[in-house]
Amino acid sequence: MSFMNVLCCCFSSSENSTRQLNERQPLLQGQPQSARQARPAHNETPQKSGRFIARDVGIPELDQSFKDVAEIFNLQQGHHEAMTECLNTLRDRYGCSCGDGLSECLKRIKEEHDTHHQITFHMKGYDFSLAVVPNDEVPSKLRSSQDNIRGLCQASKAIVAAGTKLQEMIGWLTKTEEQLANQVLEEAPAYQEQQRLEDNLKKNLQECRRARELSTAYREQAGKILNEAALLSGVNP
């Protein structure tokens, strides 16, 4: 079983609410991102990015479901932006190419700083970090790199954590599309309102499919980083 599969298994049994996704649990979460397209971390992601804005469909329980999906996806997209930014910063700082991963960044870091410091890559549980000895008088460049690797770890874990629950929720909504459409039509008091709510439902389901596609790509990228981190630390992924 791969490191990524083990990590997903730990998350799939969790039924935490979306509020718990925002707390510092074994997996840490962050803030939603803007609609700007981030540079991909490892592989290209689908081009259509941006926040998920849930539209009213006139059924409170269904409205809440779409809002929950939107909240989780927007958080996950924010973590993906943070993950991408941390990796790109490391690449730029040490002259790596845009396709280089964490291992090449670590190699460059050691080449530049190992004259005066012993640098080791550690992974404990699902947390990975860069240890520097001695820890006093660490150059600001190296200290910043430690912060970037820490941020890369937190963002990667958060993406995987959000992805499992998100896929389940989107799967249920898209599989019951016809049933949901009938419910919306039954609840609407007038024809004009039916048209508006039916259109909102279609847009919400389109957004769900977009979120599912992007979320899958985000999780794949985060999984590669976590697997690479495991290899660098000597853990069997």
The predicted pLDDT at position 33 comes to 39
**What is the total residue count of the chain?**
237
The predicted pLDDT at position 4 comes to 56
The confidence band for 31, taking pLDDT boundaries of 50, 70 and 90, is very low
Main-chain phi, psi angles of 123, to 5 degrees = -140, 125
Task: Residue 149: name the closest of 207, 72, 85, 65 by CA.
Answer: 85
Average pLDDT over residues 209-218: 96
Residue for token digits 């599989």? 175
pLDDT digits (tens, 9 = 90+) for 18-30: 444 444 333 333 3
The predicted pLDDT at position 1 comes to 52
CA distances from 146 to 124, 130, 139, 177 (A): 16, 6, 11, 46
The predicted pLDDT at position 20 comes to 43
More confident residue, 34 or 226: 226
The predicted pLDDT at position 26 comes to 38
- Residues forming a β-bridge with 41: none
The confidence band for 39, taking pLDDT boundaries of 50, 70 and 90, is very low
pLDDT digits (tens, 9 = 90+) for 53-101: 999 999 999 999 999 999 999 999 999 999 999 999 999 999 999 999 9
The predicted pLDDT at position 208 comes to 97
The confidence band for 2, taking pLDDT boundaries of 50, 70 and 90, is low
- The amino acid at 67: K
Is 42 a residue whose pLDDT tops 50?
no
CA distances from 169 to 58, 136, 173, 178, 213 (A): 19, 48, 6, 16, 14
How big is the CA angle at 215 (ends 209 and 216), to the nearest 5 degrees? Answer: 95
Give the DSSP letter string of 135-204. Answer: -TT--HHHHHHHHHHHHHHHHHHHHHHHHHHHHHHHHHHHHTHHHHHHHHHHH-SSHHHHHHHHHHHHHH
pLDDT digits (tens, 9 = 90+) for 156-194: 999 999 998 999 999 999 998 889 999 998 888 788 888
Contact partners, residue 82, CB within 8 Å, separation at least 6: 30, 33, 151, 154, 155
Q: Taking the domains of the chain in order of start, what are their residue ranges?
A: 3-7+55-230
